[in-house]
Every structure is written in C-alpha cells, then in structure tokens.
A and B are shown apart, each in its own frame.
Chain A
Amino acid sequence: GENVEQHPSTLSVQEGDSAVIKCTYSDSASNYFPWYKQELGKRPQLIIDIRSNVGEKKDQRIAVTLNKTAKHFSLHITETQPEDSAVYFCAARYSGAGSYQLTFGKGTKLSVIP
C-alpha cells in the first residue's frame, strides 16, 4: 500500500512568517494529494488539493507544490495568522485492489505565535 511521511510533526512560527510542511509518498501511481486542517476538537476540513498533472496550486495565502519525480509535495502558508494554528494532514490517493484509497500522514501541529 501507500506510505505517507509528513514533516515536521510540530512547527512554531511567528505571526506574519511563512510555514512549510512537507510530505513524501511511496507509490508513484498516486494521483491526488489533498491537505486537511483540523482545529482543536474539530473535524478535519479540506483546505486545498492538487492532482498529479499539476505542479502547483494557490488559494490566497495557501499554496501546494508537487514534485512527482521526487514523490513529495508541500504546503506553504504565507503571512501566517493565529487562526492558522491547527494540525495539518497531508494525504495521497493510490490505487489498490481495484479501488482508490486515501492514506494520510501523521499530521503537523502548527502553532502561530502572536
């Protein structure tokens, strides 16, 4: 199956600085890579996703880049704000036994210090 490694496990940044979270995946056939944000005590929510035929995608202060050759993808948050504090999960969708599955990384706890 797919294996998704996520780094770092914790990240602290000053408000206004940028934050970068990196993930690597093992299955070169994986074709869809979403990122979820989970605030304390809340449900995971999709914040951005990218398909394997695209190298970069932006949505306001959030961007995701994908390097298929190296099998890694990254989440970039610019001009961080206290409300960006949360756990962020990356995921990769791969095909196994005739169906697709999403495998999640173990998460990165981001703390934005005012």
Chain B
Amino acid sequence: DSGVTQTPKHLITATGQRVTLRCSPRSGDLSVYWYQQSLDQGLQFLIQYYNGEERAKGNILERFSAQQFPDLHSELNLSSLELGDSALYFCASSVGQNPEKLFFGSGTQLSVL
C-alpha cells in the first residue's frame, strides 16, 4: 500500500457527462499529480498541485480541471466526456514541489460508454 488513496476504483458513465475523481496523498506529502494511462500512450502527465497551488500543467484538456484543497486532497473533474476519455487515471504524491519519488494510488478506471 503506497498510502495514496483514490476513489472511486471504477466509474462507468455516458458521453457528455461529468465526473469527479478524488485523491488523498500520503501523510506529509504536499504535491499531488494526476496522470492518464491509456494502452497506447503510457502515462501522460495532466497536472500537479503543490500545497494548494497549481505547480505544473501537462497535456490536460480544457474540459478537465483539478484543484487541491486545504487538507491537501485533490479532485480531478472531467466534463463533456467523450469515448476517448476512457482510461485509467492515476494520482500520485510526493513530499516536495519537484516530481521525485512519486507514490501512486491504485487508480480510477473510467469507462465512457
């Protein structure tokens, strides 16, 4: 167990809908990262928050947004969902503001039908 908690484990929804993925980092970690994993693209970096502030942005679509709350948990919001958004979404956390020694959660499998 990495200490990073993600909920829900599975999510099935329809095109056009909106979903929220939740992540609680390891105790003491201030950074939260979101990654999207699909079969042919590996791990794609979406966004990072450090101590409540956006720290780095990757290939995140405008339909996606995230935030980190004062208790350091983070939520990833995916809206106007398309079939191609179906993927495994991982959250990871680390102590510092630079990505190093990331601990990953168990992921949320999103299926858009």
Q: Which residues of A contact B (CB under 8 A)?
A: 32, 34, 36, 42-46, 49, 89, 91, 93, 96-97, 99-107
> In chain A, what residue has the closest Cβ to B106?
A43
Cβ 8 A contact of B99, one of A45, A100, A105: A100
How many chain B residues touch A (Cβ–Cβ < 8 Å)?
26
User: Complex formed: what's the CA distance from A99 to B57 in Å?
Assistant: 9
CB contact under 8 A between A102 and B101, given known A43-B107, A44-B90, A45-B2: no
What residues of B have a CB within 8 angstroms of the CB of A42 in the complex? 106
What are some 27 contacts across the A-B interface (CB < 8 A)? A32-B99, A34-B100, A34-B102, A42-B106, A43-B90, A43-B105, A46-B101, A46-B102, A46-B103, A49-B100, A89-B42, A89-B43, A93-B98, A99-B48, A99-B56, A99-B97, A100-B98, A101-B45, A101-B48, A101-B56, A102-B102, A103-B45, A104-B35, A104-B42, A105-B42, A106-B40, A106-B42
Instruction: Return B37 CB to nearest CB of chain A, in Å.
Output: 9
Cβ 8 A contact of B100, one of A32, A45, A96: A32
What residues of B have a CB within 8 angstroms of the CB of A89 in the complex? 42-43
Q: How many A-B residue pairs have CB under 8 A?
A: 60
Cβ 8 A contact of B43, one of A44, A93, A99, A100: A44
Q: Which of B40-63 contact A (CB under 8 A)?
A: 40-45, 48, 55-58
Is B34 part of the binding interface, using a Cβ–Cβ cutoff of 8 Å? no
User: Complex formed: what's the CA distance from A46 to B100 in Å?
Assistant: 10
What residues of B have a CB within 8 angstroms of the CB of A99 in the complex? 48, 55-56, 97-98
User: Complex formed: what's the CA distance from A45 to B92 in Å?
Assistant: 10
